[in-house]
Amino acid sequence: MGKLTSKVAWVTGAGSGIGEAAALALAEEGATLVLTGRRPAPLEDVAARIRAGSNTTGAAAHVQPADLMQSPQVLKVGAFIKDKLGRLDILVNNAGLNILDRHWNKLTPAGIDELVHGNLSAALYCVTVALPLMRAQQDGVLIHTASVAGRFIGGFSGPIYTAAKHGVVAMSHTINMEECVNGIRSSVFLPGEVATPILDKRPNPVGPEARARMVQPADCGDLIRYIACLPKHLVMSEVMLSPTWNRSYVANLERKL
């Protein structure tokens, strides 16, 4: 029996990258998964792999596609969780995006809207759905994927992505400030460069050799599983995971030579 047997976990951005890895890791611990993203086909693929392993893990998977930038669609997923599953123990608030024209010399209002709503508003909407369910049971864990760009200001990610991820970090800490009395714990995860499809949206391509040295999605899934399995009296408020071969550090060292 896994550590999360009988628990319900909602993973957003579950069709690829960190979300996919987190869903599979939580399923290995026996959790029932609700998988959300904009594209149904990748979610169905992840769900099929979870169901294929259910004989040994006891996990189940429910596909609930949604555009999380649209609050009515977030509420619809929340209604499914409440009506069909009756509880929510874990929210992996992972969905996010970036765009090619991410810097001030190319940013447009439409691009800013996409970045803010995709990385901050969507996360906030999901929290408003999760908290009432968790308050009712006086227990729950929220794990938000931010970025090292949510703690440090640099050049790779662009200014609006950086600002939005700073907002996610602040959001998570305020949840602990207000909801600790309800047995609710909020963790914000700040990965460095991760070899996920979001790299394809970079203005400068990242080759396979560099990607192999980065944090891998499975590394993130393992860390998210660890946080989700912590006992109720503990909260990992904030955690950073970076590649040993940190490209920013290496670039600084090379400039000194």
Query: Is the Cα dihedral 10, 228, 116, 211 positive or negative?
Result: negative
Q: Give residue limits of the domains in the chain.
A: 8-256
More confident residue, 97 or 206: 97
For residues 62 and 39, is the Cβ–Cβ distance under 8 A? no
Which of 173, 80, 202 lies closest to 133 in space, CA to CA?
80
> pLDDT by residue (tens digit) across 98-116?
999 999 999 999 999 999 9
For residues 106 and 207, is the Cβ–Cβ distance under 8 A? no
Q: What is the pLDDT at residue 204? A: 75
pTM (whole model) above 0.85:
yes
- Residue 88 exposure: Cα atoms within 13 Å on the Cβ side: 31
- With 80 as the cut, is the pLDDT of residue 257 above it? no
Burial class for 27, CB neighbours closer than 10 Å (0-12, 13-18, 19+): buried
The CATH topology of domain 8-256 is: Rossmann fold (3.40.50)
